[in-house]
Structure 1
Amino acid sequence: ICHCIINCDMNSTRRLDSLSEAFLKNFITFAIAVIINFINGTFVYTYFKSHVFQRDPRYVLYIHLVINDMIMLTTAVALQIITYTIPLKLAPCCILSSKTFFFINSVPLNLAGMALERYIAVCKPLHHVQICTVQRTSGFITLIWAISLMPSVTDVIFLVATQPLSIFSRNVICYESNIFRTPFHKTHREIIQGLLLCFVFLTVLITYLNVLWAARAASGLNQASARNARNTILLHGVQLLICMSSFVSPFINIMLVTTWPEKRTTILFTSYLVTGILPRLLSPLIYGIRDKTCKILFVSLL
């Protein structure tokens, strides 16, 4: 989401949009976000009402991902609306941007953890109960927070160290390039996200291949379980590719805008919806619809 905001040049888009266009875009984004958060919220409610979910590390990681998506979506939409409406002081805008970057980093790490859990369940079933406990899963989530937080803290520390404190009381359009504008910030974020996504991509790929081989070697119920795990990991890979699309979308935007410059704002807004907003529906679709246990408990509790 954050990369899309950066590369879509929302500051320029804000100046080009008419009042009616700005209202329509913000209304569409807000409405979609409310619908997605409502759907995700129902699964969060179901999770906390069911002890079955809370005792299963698989669903602990899942609900962490869903809550992460809800917070990230809310923050991103708030930033968009603020960008179109009022300037903020640099300090609160810095906090909002850092918060968004924090949740962006935690998504691929959470996907890696979910892929590893499925790999252990299928390929090392005798050790699954000992390795994948709720306590260890909570520790893994804490590790995700720590790793995701470090780049944001580094950005803020570098900003404080290199800029006068007076800039934090300055009014700015809440747009990330207006805050973290130094070459260090740009390079730092590109390196961090590049390394992070490459690591998670290799993790998902390796776990998928191992589960695929296990599915071919298994038989009966074990084969069905391995096949389901393989499909789940494959869908996690799709989620990861969508996360990685933030690196590709700027180049696609440039080509589309160059071809149809008169539709610039529409192209950028559509790209923002496709790569930043709509993917937040993937988590409930993967588990809420495909997972039989989730569907049964969801219907019974609601």
Structure 2
Amino acid sequence: MSNNSSLVGGVSYQQQVYRIIVVQILVVIFVYINLLLIFTFFKKECFYTNARYILFAVTLLSDSMLLIISTITVMFAYFRFNIQVGLCMILCNLLFLYSFVTPITLTAMTLERYVAICIPLRHGELCSTRSAMHCILIIHGLSAVPCIMVLSAFFATASLSLYTKERTCSMETFNVYRWQSHMVSAMNQLYFLLMLITIVVSYVKIVKVAKAASGENKKSTWKGLRTVILHAFQLLLCLIQLWCPFIEAALLPIDLQLYIDVRYNNYIMFILAPRCLSPLIYGLRDETFSHALKSYASFGLYKKNRI
């Protein structure tokens, strides 16, 4: 155990470092892409005055915050670095908040597509810039409810001495009693069910309109339907992420190394993977946004070539 090739819980030190390097590279790439997309969003008025793109920017900001905070907590857990419970509480609750912001925003974006396709005459009224601002407040309000409940339960049950103790930073730290984990599970299941119902109903309504449409309207409607399908897939991955803490919590008392490995794989599949879909859906598939993005990314050379 004196050299770098020693095994720590069945995994060599080199393997641990390799995994962390892979995560850091992926996080840097995704955060850079998100920042480039956010820069593009603020450079053109047609983007920051459009409800659809405003909600898209919210997902980019939420994803960036989630990636940065989650990679910090994953590194702490992977290298078994303990921190004070008070600091862990701040990190985990921000992480918990942004875990809900993205799927709720995706649900709102699906509803926006539903209004645009199924109720086009009221789209301007229901999906104005002002409505988008109100929607952002509602999204963050709904996302904050689980965090407030977790904190309230923790403050009511934890002793003051616990705040200064050092622990492995995870959401399980705040479950002093078993009923607290059941409460979090119930909230996640409720949010999962409501968002799933919204997506399914919107999808069915849009399919009906797509079948009845004709000509250019049909083409536009089916494009909107494909966007909803991508939202649904991205949302599914985000919602599975809400279940990951319960799987990890069950493994933690059994085998610490297994817990760390599962948490690493969950991070790759259900946190990093869904976050690469947002740039795909609006950064590349959306023609207007794609041209603007390529222009800024190539420092104007793409625009000159097109002309």
TM superposition score normalised by structure 1: 0.87
Which segments of structure 1 move beyond 6 Å, counting only runs of 4 or more?
247-253, 262-265
**C-alpha deviations, 1:182-239, integer Å up to 9, x for none?**
2232111111111111111111111111111111111111111111110101111101
The higher radius of gyration belongs to: 2
2-side partners of 1:53 and 1:300: how far apart?
15
* Contact 1:88 1:172 (C-alpha < 8 Å) held by counterparts: yes
Which amino acid letter does the alignment assign opposite residue 110 of structure 2? Answer: A
The structure where helix makes up a greater share of residues is: 1
| Higher normalized contact order (CA 8 Å, seq sep 6+, divided by chain length) | 1
The 2-side partners of 1:293 and 1:103 are apart by: 28
**What is the CA distance between 1:34 and its match in structure 2?**
0.5
Distance in 1, Cα, partners of 2:119 & 2:259: 51
- Aligned equivalent of 1:130: 125
| Mapped partners of 1:62, 1:263: distance in 2 | 36
Query: Using the alignment, how far apart are the partners of 2:142 and 2:261 within structure 1?
Result: 36
Q: Report the equivalent of 1:77.
A: 71
- Aligned equivalent of 1:232, options 213, 227, 245: 227
Q: Matches of 2:53 and 2:67 in 1, distance apart? A: 21
Q: How does 1:150-161 map to 2 (within 5 A)?
A: 150-161=145-156
Tell me the equivalent position of 1:283.
278
Q: Call closer, same or farther: CA 1:301–1:265 in 2, change over 3 Å.
A: closer
Look up the equivalent residue of 1:239 and give its one-letter code. Q
Distance 1:267 1:160 in 2: 29
| Residue number among 192, 216, 227 corresponding to 2:187 in the alignment | 192
Greater mean alpha carbon deviation, residues 14-23 or residues 76-85? 14-23
In the TM superposition, what is the alpha-carbon distance from 1:40 to its structure 2 partner? 1.3
Supply the AA of the counterpart residue of 1:286.
Answer: I
Residue 3 (structure 1) aligns with? none
Identity of aligned residues (%): 26
Q: Distance in 1 between matches of 2:149 and 2:106?
A: 24
Q: CA deviation at 1:85?
A: 5.4
* CA distance in 2 between partners of 1:15 and 1:159 (Å): 31
Structure 1 unaligned segments of length 5 or more: list them. 1-12, 254-261
Deviation at 1:174, TM superposition (A): 1.2
1:244-255 equivalences in 2 (<5 Å): 244-246=239-241
Q: Deviations over 1:94-129 (max 9, x none)?
A: 111111111111222111110110111111111110
Map of 1:45 onto structure 2: 39
* 1:69, distance to aligned residue in structure 2 (A): 0.7
Counterparts in 2 of 1:284 and 1:63: CA distance versus 1, 3 Å: same
CA contact (8 A) 2:209 2:221 kept: yes
- Once the two structures are superposed, what CA deviation does each residue of 1:34-80 show, in whole Å capped at 9, x if it has no partner? 11111111101100111110011000001101111111111110101
Instruction: Return 5+ residue gaps in structure 2 as ranges.
Output: 1-6, 249-256, 298-307
Deviation at 1:82, TM superposition (A): 2.0
In 2, Cα distance between the equivalents of 1:274 and 1:297? Answer: 30
Letter in 2 for 1:18: S
Question: SS of the counterpart of 1:172?
Answer: strand
Q: How many angstroms does 1:277 deviate by?
A: 1.7
Map Cα deviations across residues 248-290 of structure 1 (whole Å, 9 max, x no partner): 768999xxxxxxxx99865653343112222210100111111
1:299 to partner: Cα distance: 2.1
**C-alpha distance in structure 2 between counterparts of 1:249 and 1:192, whole Å:** 14
CA 238–153 in structure 1, closer or farther in 2 if over 3 Å, else same? same
- Letter in structure 2 aligned against 1:171: E
Cα deviation, residue 17, structure 1: 3.5
> Following the alignment from structure 2 to structure 1, what is the Cα–Cα distance between the partners of residues 246 and 159?
34
Aligned to 1:88: 83
Contact 1:105 1:193 in 2 (8 A): no
Answering whether residue 217 of structure 2 is matched by residue 222 of structure 1, we say yes
For residue 14 of structure 2, what is the aligned residue in structure 1?
20
Letter in 2 for 1:279: P
* Conserved 8 A contact 1:17-1:265: no
Are 1:29 and 2:23 matched, yes or no?
yes
Matched length:
283
Amino acid at match of 1:228: K
Give the distance between the partners of 2:162 and 2:243, measured in 1 at CA.
32
Out of 54, 58, 72, the position equivalent to 1:60 is 54
Contact 2:70–2:95 (CA under 8 A) maintained in structure 1: yes
RMSD over aligned Cα, in angstroms? 2.4
Distance 1:14 1:123, change over 3 A: farther
- 1:100-179 counterparts in 2 under 5 A? 100-179=95-174
